[in-house]
Structure 1
């Protein structure tokens, strides 16, 4: 595929035109039902952010499954945001038009952040945007929280995709007290037998004060 065709996926204008042509529900990569077995860590009261939500009903399905906590979706395309607000009316789901590289939320707001294809789209334009988005994820995610990434990038040869994700997540942030907290991450990679999206689940840990940013990875293969 030509690079120009790939690069369009990281352009907000492309998505604006796409949703202008069709703002009906579209479920990127995986449905809530298909990923639910991997989400045992999501408690009923967890605060969950769907970054780059588009018109996905992932959060609506989570609410209908009995979730009681705060549910928030963000997308850069206003038309998609308006469509999702209509679809989720009455479900107490917040939907905002936001750039995932500059989220409106305070530090340590969410227990879980979910991405279904946003990072894949952004990487088409280079590493910098992905690093910025993942630095925001690290900022708004609480210690002990999970960042769930659904991606078509496989474990084999994933370095070009994974490196900017890790670089963004492990970016240190100067606090009002002037210190630089260090974050460590665990990564569980879930791959379905026979192909399909790979599910990367990052867990945020607080590292020791003298430690360095780190990542520990485990691989899980599922029949299906």
Structure 2
């Protein structure tokens, strides 16, 4: 069954979406995570008293799940008349207060100015913005203008997106120029769920953009949260573009390592930073060797603090020798950096856990061992 577009251009057409929903029937196609993975972020920016407009709702269960936990004022619109009829029929008795309209989100003429306190977009912007032709950009700007028009002051545009570079740049260009505060948050839970559901274990970074409408902002506000819960305020939109691109590139590297071995190829290296810090806290080199009977599949090796410059740890040849002696087919060699404080061996392992896991080969469900030649850490 052809459920995904053959070309990016087809992705945004009305005909494609109508055919798509006819083929799917009642099986919801969840693009970027479902309510359980997204609720942690959504509940920060959407309250039960809000009047919510879900644009390009498709047959996503997201608005239904929100309704079921107390969000009663939800209006759904979609360009596909087929899906609106399906959703009206499916929800008429179980969710009687929910509204469904066949409508183009770039021309929401039936809605008055400042009607809604939240506009919720799950993948709709991505479906609209399939290329960078003048026609597509004009359509996207009409869409943004309509969102800005129907939102009240203090209202939020909450957009779940993969934030390809051309999309992020346009969002950053439009909303701050129209008195919106801008925030981008990475939604790791949605990525993890996608990876679990994909046969090859891969995923791409998922982001929640929150653009909050003000009557007048004294200065443009740009914020980003790509790791943990710490919100960083940055001075320039380019900083967000670079940060998001770095997360996407790192994810592509991890996807490559999940898909297959790099035995016989160059090692892969990544620097790990704390949010807002320029100086790396850890460097990880990942190496593979051809499978050897009796070897473990994967381990992390933490270089003893203070020995980072030794040949065995600081050179590609040395690291190959370390791999050969480690009794594992893949080794993630972790170097700690000078000028950083490390509370304890266990604290280091806890801090590294998610990053080390993301570099594992696909299908590895066993505990990942941490190897070293000593477990003393501190500050140097």
Pairwise CA distance, 1:190:
2.4
Q: How far apart, in 1, do the equivalents of 2:216 and 2:173 lie?
A: 16
Q: How far apart, in 2, do the equivalents of 1:170 and 1:106 lie?
A: 23
Q: How far apart, in 2, do the equivalents of 1:162 and 1:41 lie?
A: 20
Q: Secondary structure at the match of 1:29?
A: coil
On the 8 A contact 2:184/2:207 being kept in 1, the answer is: no
Give the strand-richer structure, 1 or 2.
1
Q: How far apart, in 1, do the equivalents of 2:38 and 2:206 lie?
A: 10
Q: How far apart, in 2, do the equivalents of 1:132 and 1:167 lie?
A: 14
Q: 1:196 to 1:164 in 2, by over 3 A?
A: closer
On the 8 A contact 2:155/2:213 being kept in 1, the answer is: yes
Find 2:128's aligned residue among 119, 122, 146.
122
* Deviates most, 194-203 or 129-138: 194-203
Q: How far apart, in 2, do the equivalents of 1:7 and 1:37 lie?
A: 33
Find 1:146's aligned residue among 118, 142, 156.
156
State the TM-score, normalized to the length of structure 1: 0.81
Q: Where do 1:21-40 residues align within 5 Å?
A: 21-24=23-26, 25-38=28-41, 39-40=43-44
Q: Where do 1:33-182 residues align within 5 Å?
A: 33-38=36-41, 39-68=43-72, 70-90=73-93, 91=95, 92-103=97-108, 104-125=110-131, 126-153=136-163, 158=165, 160-169=166-175
Structure 1 gaps of 5+ residues are 172-181
Pairwise CA distance, 1:87:
1.8
Render the CA deviation track for 1:200-222: whole Å, top value 9, x for unaligned.
121112215xx68x452323324
Give the helix-richer structure, 1 or 2.
2
Q: 1:89 to 1:64 in 2, by over 3 A?
A: same
Q: How far apart, in 2, do the equivalents of 1:4 and 1:18 lie?
A: 12
Q: 1:184 aligned to 2:180?
A: yes
Q: How far apart, in 1, do the equivalents of 2:6 and 2:221 lie?
A: 33
The equivalent of 2:11 in structure 1 is 9
Q: How far apart, in 1, do the equivalents of 2:39 and 2:103 lie?
A: 26
Over aligned residue pairs, what C-alpha RMSD do you find?
A: 2.4
State the TM-score, normalized to the length of structure 2: 0.49
Pairwise CA distance, 1:166:
4.0
On the 8 A contact 1:188/1:217 being kept in 2, the answer is: yes
Rg larger in 1 or in 2?
Answer: 2
Q: Which structure carries more relative contact order (alpha carbon 8 Å, separation 6+)?
A: 1
Q: 1:216 aligned to 2:228?
A: no
Q: How far apart, in 1, do the equivalents of 2:113 and 2:87 lie?
A: 25
On the 8 A contact 1:105/1:140 being kept in 2, the answer is: yes
Pairwise CA distance, 1:168:
4.4
On the 8 A contact 1:131/1:169 being kept in 2, the answer is: no
Pairwise CA distance, 1:140:
0.7
Pairwise CA distance, 1:4:
7.3
Pairwise CA distance, 1:132:
0.9
Q: Secondary structure at the match of 2:171?
A: helix
On the 8 A contact 1:75/1:81 being kept in 2, the answer is: yes
Q: Secondary structure at the match of 1:144?
A: strand
